[in-house]
Amino acid sequence: MRALKDLIKEVDGGVPAVAKACGVSSRAVYKWMKRGRLPRTDYSGETAYALRIEKLSGGRVTASALLIYGRDH
């Protein structure tokens, strides 16, 4: 299983591109990477960052792979 930071780095454009696609700051994305998981709101269905990242990556990084991290937190 690959770390969340590795999955985000795999996206073309890296952190800035992920931040723009998700409508958040690059700082927020770096916080996700440091914690090793997306925000709680993505697991509760309030946001869809994982789906946005999957779309941005053209499917190379899947939403399900992103959501594996932090499920138990």
Q: Which amino acid is at 71?
A: R
- Does the residue 14 lie in any domain? yes
Q: Any idea which residue has 């990556």 for tokens?
A: 57
**Packed helices 14-22 and 49-56: angle between N→C axes, nearest 10 degrees:** 130
- Does the residue 73 lie in any domain? no
pLDDT surpasses 70 at 38: yes
**Packed helices 26-35 and 14-22: angle between N→C axes, nearest 10 degrees:** 110
- Does the residue 41 lie in any domain? yes
CATH number at 53 reads: 1.10.260.40
User: Domain residues for 62?
Assistant: 4-68
- Does the residue 46 lie in any domain? yes
pLDDT surpasses 50 at 73: no
> What's the average model confidence in pLDDT over 38-54?
96
Total domains in the fold of the chain: 1
- Does the residue 47 lie in any domain? yes
1-32 pLDDT, tens digit each: 678 899 999 999 999 999 999 999 999 999 99
Q: Positive or negative, the Cα torsion across 28, 29, 31, 36?
A: positive
pLDDT surpasses 80 at 69: no
